[in-house]
Amino acid sequence: MRVMFTFAGGNGHFRPLVPLARALTDAGHTIAFTGEPMMVPIVEAAGFTAFPSGPNLGSDGTRRPLLPVDRDREDADFRDGFVRRTAPLRADDVLALCEHWAPDLLVNDEADHGPMIAAEKLGLPHVTVLVMAAGALVRPDLVDEALNEVRAAHGLVPQRNLDLAYRHLVLSPFPEGFRDPRFPLPPTAQFFHTPVPGRRAAPEWYVEGRPTVYFTLGTIFNTESGDLFARVLAGLRDVDATCVVTVGNLVDPAEFGWQPEHIHLAKYLPQDDVLPYCDAVVTHGGSGSLLGAIAHGLPMVVLPMGADQPHNGDRVTELGLGTVLDVIDATPEDVREAVSMVLRESSYREAAARLRDQVTAYPSPEKIVPLLEGLPLR
């Protein structure tokens, strides 16, 4: 079987697909990815064949000021950016790519509606993989009308409630208990879990017996964060813990100047190398960072900036997994107190451990492969 994986956006849209791609590869199937051009080297570095499609949506490295959270703005950005503008371009490119590469099945990230349209036009089955933890951004009342405009341009009948995006199989790596109950999953949904590696050789920054905190703003919003890195670093200076901070490949750690011995700055570190040694996470609330924290049962301090992060922050608060700070108003003292609290109060760890246990009980990607193999192929 030839399987084309598609995603719209950056690492947060690519990484959830990787465990399934590896499982299919191990089962003897032929795999390729397609995404925005700037992601092609990253996909190839992960060991996969990659083709460019659609426009670049990720950061070009330009530093931008930090904006107050505006959920209406984020809704409009997703509806008009991912659906109205990007989906038509990606549909056209993936249709052309399918003529060349001839897949039997498409596996799409849930925000990548263009390739779903391509699959429908070609009579191919497709699988939708969820990449947004709370489920409150890719929602029918926001995207149905815009999606039907794109479908009409391709001669397809209207859909409602995202029923054609969810018609074959929906796969979720997130614990069911984290999803916003206002947006239940369709009957075609199946959960999966990727086992996380345990501790390997201890990193040089690890101090046995001392708490460790990981701080990240992801790989997209890190360049739109204004002075947020500086404020959080100032707060972490007074936290009694080893603090590991990644600023992203487009930001120079040297710009933050001298740091005390317990703070360790890097451009990028794989989560799998850091999280097994951590006791808490400070994050922007992107779904990838959040899933990593949940998989390791770690409480969180969340600083949402945009996209689905505010919705994820809502669920972190509602489920007692941690606390949420306002990115504009949070002072270093607020950061220090919030991090110290989630390290100190056991209720946060206990809530995180419950979700960790829930997702750990799901089948592995290898167990999901037969579901993909069983889909009716053209």
**Where do the structural domains in the chain lie, given as residue ranges?**
2-193+362-373, 212-359
- Under 8 Å between Cβ of 267 and 246: yes
* Rounded CA separation 191/172 (Å): 5
Q: Does 61 score more than 80 pLDDT?
A: no
Taking the CB of residue 60, how many other CB atoms lie within 10 A of it?
8
Contact, 147 vs 164, CB < 8 A? no
Q: Would 2-193+362-373 and 212-359 be classified into the same CATH topology? A: yes
Q: What is the mean pLDDT of residues 53-82?
A: 88
Q: What are the structure tokens assigned to 203, written together?
A: 């990193």
Q: Taking the mean position of all CA atoms in its chain, how far away is CA 146?
A: 23
Taking 90 as the threshold, does the pLDDT of residue 56 lie above it? no
Structure tokens at 237: 């200076």
Radius of gyration for the alpha carbons in the chain, expressed in angstroms and rounded: 20
Which of the four pLDDT bands, split at 50, 70 and 90, describes residue 377?
Answer: confident
CA within 13 Å, CB half, 2 = 11
If you search the block for the tokens 């341009």, which residue do you land on?
153
Give 228-267 pLDDT, tens digit per residue: 999 999 999 999 999 999 998 888 899 999 999 999 999 9
What is the per-residue pLDDT for 200? 84
Tell me the pLDDT tens digit for each residue of 273-307: 999 999 999 999 999 899 999 999 999 999 999 99
Confidence band (pLDDT; 50, 70, 90) for 36?
very high
Which of the four pLDDT bands, split at 50, 70 and 90, describes residue 58? Answer: low
Q: Contact, 304 vs 312, CB < 8 A?
A: yes
Look up the pTM and report it.
Answer: 0.94
Q: Which CATH superfamily is domain 212-359 in?
A: Glycogen Phosphorylase B; (3.40.50.2000)
CA 91/CA 335 separation, integer angstroms: 43
> pLDDT category, 196, cuts 50, 70, 90?
confident
Average pLDDT, the chain: 94
Distance separating alpha carbons of residues 323 and 301, to the nearest angstrom: 5
pLDDT in tens, 84-93: 999 999 999 9
Q: How confident is the model at residue 378 (pLDDT cuts 50, 70, 90)?
A: low
> What pLDDT score was predicted for residue 99?
95
Could you count the other beta carbons within 10 Å of the beta carbon of residue 140?
A: 15
**Per-residue pLDDT averaged across 92-100, rounded?**
96
What is the 8-class DSSP label of residue 80?
Answer: I
pLDDT band at 195 (very low <50, low <70, confident <90, very high): confident
DSSP letter string over 55-72? ---S--S---------HH
Q: How far is C-alpha 91 from the chain's CA centre?
A: 22
Assess whether pLDDT exceeds 80 at residue 59. no
- Angstrom distance (rounded) from CA 340 to CA 306: 25
Contact 31, 48 (CB under 8 A): yes
Q: What's the average model confidence in pLDDT over 348-363? A: 97
In terms of Cα–Cα distance, which of 213, 201, 200 is closest to 263? Answer: 213
Distance CA 365, CA 329 (A): 41
What are 266's two structure tokens? 């890097």
- State the Cα torsion 43-49-52-56 to the nearest 10°: 0
Asked if 310 contacts 71 with a C-beta cutoff of 8 angstroms, the reply is yes
CATH class as words, domain 2-193+362-373: alpha beta
